[in-house]
């Protein structure tokens, strides 16, 4: 149900502009550079998120995406910069894209090795303070759309 949940999340975001602070649309060219930088191909609802919202926050919830093409010298909420840094600092595997930090020792990532029939990656939680091989990855959401909807609904609750 990814597209339906994702569209519902976008509708909530657009109806609550006072809580929404997003970078805005990202070009196909910039998205292609980001994909090349992390070696992943973005699909489905996350690709649409990048194309329409880019990166940013809804209330206190910050969802990472793309800011600009300087992936080396960026900051939050740049998913490309953050992912590349995590690959260096904690050996984050190449199939993960970091999209959210809980602020309490958990990072949520899109897992491109765990996708549904349409290519949508699952959202998983990992703890950067433990070696990955010592963790059982918890599935947070079946896809980015479900994750985003849950986040925006929690922010309004």
Q: What is the pLDDT of residues 13-23, one digit of tens each?
A: 999 999 999 99
Could you tell me if 80 and 65 are in contact, meaning their C-beta atoms sit under 8 angstroms apart?
no
Angle between helices 44-52 and 28-38 (to 10 degrees): 130
pLDDT(1) > 60 = no
CA distances in angstroms from 97 to 39, 49, 87, 104, 157, listed in the order given: 10, 14, 10, 18, 28
Average of per-residue pLDDT values in the chain: 93
The span from the CA of 3 to the CA of 1, in Å, is: 6
Give the Cα separation of 144 and 122 in Å (integer). Answer: 7
């Amino acid at each position: 149900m990814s597209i339906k949940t994702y569209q519902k999340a976008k509708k909530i975001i657009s109806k609550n502009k006072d809580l929404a602070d997003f970078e805005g649309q990202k070009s196909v060219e910039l998205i292609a550079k980001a994909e090349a930088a992390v070696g992943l191909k973005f699909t489905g609802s996350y690709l649409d998120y990048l194309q329409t919202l880019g990166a940013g926050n809804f209330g206190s919830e910050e969802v990472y995406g793309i800011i600009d093409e300087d992936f080396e010298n960026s900051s939050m909420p740049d998913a490309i910069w953050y992912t590349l840094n995590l690959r260096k600092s904690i050996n984050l595997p190449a199939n993960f894209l970091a999209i959210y930090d809980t602020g309490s020792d958990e990072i949520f990532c899109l897992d491109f090795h765990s996708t549904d029939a349409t290519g949508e990656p699952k959202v998983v939680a990992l703890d950067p303070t433990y070696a990955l091989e010592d963790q059982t990855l918890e599935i947070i959401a079946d896809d980015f759309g479900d994750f985003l909807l849950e986040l925006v609904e929690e922010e309004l609750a």
